[in-house]
Amino acid sequence: MMELSTVLWNAEYADSTLVCFRQTQATDRYGFARNTEAQFTFTGIVTPETGDELERTAAGAYTNARITIHTPFQLSAGDQTQDADIVLWQGRRYTVTGVKDYSAFGFVCATGELLPLNG
C-alpha cells in the first residue's frame, strides 16, 4: 500500500501556492454580524475534473469548470454555520462544493467549481 502523504508533499506533484479564503462570522457588542475573510496558504495536488465548458442559457453564457484537490489541509464545503471555502488556483477562484474526509489517512479530497468571472 502506498503512503499518500509522500505524494502530497512531493514537490514534483504538489502545488504549494494554493490559497484558501474562509469567511468567519462574529457578532459585535451591538448584536450585528460581521464577516471577516481569513486567508490560508496550503499545499495540495490539483487535477482538472473537467475542462472549461461553455454553458449557454437564456440569461447569457458563462464558463464552467471543476477541479479535484487532494490535501492534508481541512477544506470545507460549508454548512449552516459557515460559508464554503474559496480556493485560488492558477489565478482562478473555485468554490468548494464537496469534501470527502480521508483524514484517517492524512488527507481530504475536495471538489471545486469555478466562480463566475463576472461575480
Mean pLDDT of 20-44: 90
Query: 90: pLDDT confidence band, cut at 50, 70 and 90?
Result: very high
For residues 83 and 77, what is the distance between their CA atoms, to the nearest angstrom? 7
What is the distance of C-alpha 66 from the center of its chain?
10
Query: 59: pLDDT confidence band, cut at 50, 70 and 90?
Result: confident
For residues 60 and 25, what is the distance between their CA atoms, to the nearest angstrom? 33
In CATH terms, is domain 4-25+33-114 a member of 2.40.10? Answer: yes
Are 29 and 87 in contact by the 8 Å Cβ rule? The answer is no
Query: 112: pLDDT confidence band, cut at 50, 70 and 90?
Result: very high
Mean pLDDT of 85-106: 95
Are 113 and 65 in contact by the 8 Å Cβ rule? The answer is yes
107 C-beta neighbours (distance < 10 Å), count: 22
Decide which of 64 and 118 is more confident: 64
* Residues in the chain, total: 119
Is 8's pLDDT higher than 80? no
Are 42 and 70 in contact by the 8 Å Cβ rule? The answer is no
76 C-beta neighbours (distance < 10 Å), count: 15
